[in-house]
Amino acid sequence: MGYLLRRSRNWGAWLPVWAVTKLSRMIRGPPSYDEPRHFSTVDALENADVVRCSPNWEDEIWRSIPDPVVDRIADEADVVVRFGFGLLTGRLLDAPECGVLSFHFGDIREYRGRIGPLWEFIDGKGSVGVTLQQLTDQIDGGRIVAIDHVPIHDHDTYGAIKCRQRTSVMSELLIDGLESLNNPDFEPTVPDSLGTYRSAPSALEILALLRKHGANAIRRELSAL
């Protein structure tokens, strides 16, 4: 019960979306991509320097990194890659020469906001983007370093699309993006326009997600018989 209460406070209106994802995993098993794991278990990071700090809360949603840590990063790193951290602002965004890179699981020129491919899924789109962006102070409004799209198939569940985003293009985009930033002639792309930012789904959108996710899960099971 305590776990559910904590989830409810953290996710708010997104709690039904989280519940759908968890239910899908209970029925179909864990996703094919690796679950998050501690950096200490990654062989390539075995001898990496670790600097621990507590972020500064600038307001209810934005966090910054303490200045002494930012200074060290600026001295020792050309680029920062953000994984699993909240909305980031402050000096760190411009301290490294190549900025701070972060993934958004959508094409920021069309869809911005939390929970990856939800909007593309319920809107019936044929594909969903993955954007590697150089962060700015605008939510999902960074400079595009690399971008790609993966297909959305007729019988896909919401979880299947999320899995495809992470397994199909994510690692390749990071490699391509870092190689591009190493080219002195490369400039990240400033989008001509950005998609509407959506902070949370409406009740009707949640119902649409539940209906489509459930129907597609049944179709996939029947097609496998």
**E strand map for the chain:** 56-57, 62-64, 80-82, 87-88, 100-104, 111-113, 127-134, 143-151, 196-198
CB 152 within 8 Å of CB 127: yes
DSSP character at residue 60:
S
Check if CATH label 3.40.50.12230 holds for domain 98-225.
Answer: yes
Is residue 219 pLDDT above 80, yes or no? yes
Q: What is the pLDDT of residues 5-62, one digit of tens each?
A: 454 445 455 555 556 555 555 444 445 455 667 778 888 888 888 889 999 999 988 9
152: Cβ–Cβ under 8 A, 6 or more apart, which residues? Answer: 117, 120, 121, 125, 126, 127, 128, 161
Q: What is the pLDDT of residues 77-127, one digit of tens each?
A: 999 999 878 899 999 999 999 999 999 999 999 999 877 788 899 999 999
pLDDT for the residue 1 = 47
Is residue 183 pLDDT above 80, yes or no? yes
pLDDT for the residue 17 = 57
The whole-number average pLDDT for the span 165-189 is 94
In the chain, domain spans? 49-97, 98-225
Q: What is the pLDDT of residues 63-74, one digit of tens each?
A: 999 999 999 999
Q: How far apart are CA 105 and CA 101, in angstroms?
A: 13
Provide the token pair at 198: 């959506």
